[in-house]
Amino acid sequence: MPGLNEEREKKKRAIFDGMSPKHRQKILKKMGYENWDPFQEPRDPIDLREQKVKQMASVLFRQFIMDCEIKDYSDESIKAVKEISKGLIKDKERYKAMYDFCCWHEKTKGDSFLDDLFNISGKNITGQDIGKFKGKKEIK
């Protein structure tokens, strides 16, 4: 298939020679003529959408960190915030449900029944040691 490579090289040279000097210089500086491939397949539109979602999630994450004034954030927390950001941006039901639950939980803080419920086992989400139930004992 040497004829095919020669034909491809001729087309590549013709494309390169047809460019403006400024564009040619940019290609030479960025990757070099040998590495430049004018016959690349275009990127899949799904890849482009995913890239946009990742960028939007990163912007949301940065804004979240700035708004909450968080200085030391673990890798796991960063991953979780970016994951839920992507899920909400994509309008995925799972992440919408998580968000709704968090909003509901925030509203119900101070509700005595739920406080007692969260105090039944081990540690609550604030990390306080709450091994004992602090409700009233029933007297028989």
Asked if residue 126 has pLDDT above 90, the reply is no
| pLDDT classification of 43: cutoffs 50, 70, 90 | low
Confidence label for 93 from pLDDT (cuts 50, 70 and 90):
very high
Q: Are 82 and 58 in contact (CB under 8 A)?
A: yes
The phi and psi torsions of 29 (rounded to 5 degrees) equal -70, -40
Q: Is the pLDDT of residue 139 over 80?
A: no
Cα-to-chain-centroid distance, residue 77: 12
- How many CB atoms are closer than 10 A to CB 85? 21
Three-state DSSP class for residue 105: helix
pLDDT of residue 69: 77
CA 64 to chain CA centroid, Å, is 13
| 127 has a pLDDT exceeding 60 | no
The CA distance from 94 to 101, in Å, is 11
Q: What mean pLDDT is predicted for residues 91-96?
A: 93
User: Which two three-digit tokens encode residue 12?
Assistant: 């590549």
What is the DSSP track for 6-50?
Answer: HHHHHHHHHHHHTS-HHHHHHHHHHT-TTT--TTPPPPPHHHHHH
pLDDT of 34 strictly over 60: yes
Report, in angstroms and rounded to the nearest whole number, the Rg of the chain calculated over CA atoms: 28
Pairwise CA distance, residues 105 & 33, whole Å: 59
Q: What is the pLDDT of residue 124?
A: 52
The residues spanned by each domain of the chain are 1-40, 45-118
Q: What is the pLDDT of residue 107?
A: 83
- What predicted TM-score, i.e. pTM, was given to this entire model? 0.46
- What pLDDT band is residue 119 in, cutting at 50, 70 and 90? low
